[in-house]
Amino acid sequence: MNTDAVGKTYAPTVYAVGREKIKEYALAVGETNPLHLDPEAARAAGFRDVVAPPMFCVVYSSPSIGPAIFDPDVGINFAMMVHGGQEFAWGPLVVAGDEITTTVSVKSIEERAGNGFYVFESQSVNQEGETVCTGTWTNIVRGMS
């Protein structure tokens, strides 16, 4: 298999976090914590605006992760791809009004037991330069050999 893309880093994307988008996401995943839904409750708890649930990281990092997964240099066979594993580590909370810059790179491409393991890494930084989330995205392509 072709591993030339390992180490490749993609152009950063910037995502402006909106109050209504946080609410839409929070409702779709069943969050009931008012910190995600009610600006008054969030301000009363000391936040500038509503707080994104941790897994909202998939929203602000998706504009960056998409082009990496679809990159012909990486060469994933989508018909045989499954999302095998996912890891996120979180720093300071993201709130509405933040601007998050995400950079994605190809961490590793390897074959194990006849399957291809394509691992991507994302790093998301807020407008203060703080790392709010790092992600490790593992896609498995079945039947490489």
Residues between 11 and 70 that touch another protein (CB under 8 A) = 21, 24-25, 27-31, 33, 35-36, 51-55, 58-59, 62-63
Contact 140, 117 (CB under 8 A): yes
Q: Which of 6, 8, 88, 115 binds another protein (CB under 8 A)?
A: 88
Q: What is the 8-class DSSP label of residue 142?
A: S
Q: Between residues 105 and 136, which has the closer beta carbon with respect to another protein?
A: 136
Is 93 near another protein (CB under 8 A)? yes
Q: Which two tokens stand for residue 35?
A: 């910190």
Q: Between residues 4 and 92, which has the closer beta carbon with respect to another protein?
A: 92
Q: Between residues 4 and 47, which has the closer beta carbon with respect to another protein?
A: 47
Count of beta carbons in the 10 Å neighbourhood of residue 61: 25
Distance (Å, whole) CA 47 – CA 61:
22
Q: Between residues 6 and 41, which has the closer beta carbon with respect to another protein?
A: 41
3-class DSSP state for residue 45? coil
Q: Which two tokens stand for residue 135?
A: 């992600």
Residues between 95 and 134 that touch another protein (CB under 8 A) = none
Q: State how beta strands 131-141 and 81-90 pair.
A: antiparallel
Q: Which residues bind to another protein, rule: CB under 8 A? A: 21, 24-25, 27-31, 33, 35-36, 51-55, 58-59, 62-63, 79, 82-90, 93, 136
